[in-house]
């Protein structure tokens, strides 16, 4: 063998590395082959089935004879169910409290909440009702100056406290400024 020892070594090393890699490749191939033959790869089966079904569905959709003649009301979905074109579940409107069918809900809300002429009249009534609701219920009255407040915000002993202060109104002042 000619050539310096270094070259030889490098070549030899590469060759040995190649051998190792080939052995590992054969191992991996053998393992995959085993899994395939024993059917251990469960996803494989499911995917095949799904691909078949999706191909079927696609064929059905692409088929021109299907689309125009079937009544759109009776189109079958992927689970084989048919739905009426107007949804029939019944809900209670949170604004007026009436029972409304789901399919009629959007138009109902339009009338009930804002768009229509009749709804505008309703709005003025309900907004004052909302204001009354808010001011009565809160623990800190909206416009009273800080010194008159009897709430727990008053800390004249000077201990600064941060907890709970976030909830008070805009006229709040730092407690330690009030000594």
Partner 1 sequence: MKHSVNRPPTPDAAEDQGKEPTLQEIINIKLIESGEKERLMELLRERLIDCGWKDEMKALCRAHVKKKGRTNVTVDDLVHLITPKGRASVPDSVKAELLQRIRTFLMSAAL
| Interface with partner 1 (CB under 8 A) | 1, 5, 9-10, 12-18, 20-33, 36-37, 39, 41, 44, 47-48
Distance between CA atoms of 167 and 157, rounded to whole angstroms? Answer: 21
| Cβ proximity to partner 1, 6 vs 89, nearer residue | 6
Cβ 56 to partner 1 shortest distance, Å: 18
Give the nearer residue to partner 1 in terms of CB position, either 34 or 115: 34
The dihedral built from the CA positions of residue 141, 144, 149 and 152, taken in this order, carries a sign that is: positive
Q: How many other CB atoms sit within 10 Å of the CB of residue 112?
A: 20
| Rounded distance between C-alpha atoms, residue 64 and residue 50, angstroms | 23
Shortest Cβ 6–partner 1 spacing (Å): 10
* Among 113, 114, 91, 112, CA closest to 103: 91
Please identify, using beta-carbon distances, which residue of 39 and 80 lies nearer to partner 1: 39
Q: At what angle do helices 105-113 and 117-137 cross, to 10 degrees?
A: 70
- The nearest distance, CB 16 to partner 1, in angstroms, is 5
User: Whose Cβ is closer to partner 1: residue 16's or residue 59's?
Assistant: 16
Q: How far is the CB of 3 from partner 1 (least distance, A)?
A: 12
């Amino acid at each position: 063998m000619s050539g310096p020892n270094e070259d030889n070594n490098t070549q030899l090393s590469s060759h040995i590395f190649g051998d190792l890699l080939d052995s590992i490749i054969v191992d991996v191939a053998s393992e995959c082959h085993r899994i395939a033959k024993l059917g251990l790869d469960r996803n494989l089966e499911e995917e095949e089935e799904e691909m078949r079904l999706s191909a079927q569905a696609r064929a059905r959709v692409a088929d021109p004879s299907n689309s125009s003649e079937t009544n759109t009301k009776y189109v079958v979905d992927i689970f084989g169910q048919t739905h009426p074109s107007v949804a029939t579940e019944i809900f209670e409107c949170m604004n007026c409290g009436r029972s409304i069918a789901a399919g009629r809900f959007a138009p109902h809300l339009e009338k009930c909440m804002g768009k229509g002429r009749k709804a505008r009249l309703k709005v003025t009534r309900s907004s004052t009702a909302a204001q009354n609701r808010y001011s009565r219920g809160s623990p800190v009255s909206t416009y009273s100056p800080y010194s008159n407040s009897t709430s727990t915000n008053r800390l004249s002993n000077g201990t600064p406290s941060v907890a709970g202060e976030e909830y008070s109104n805009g006229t709040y002042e730092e407690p330690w400024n009030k000594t």
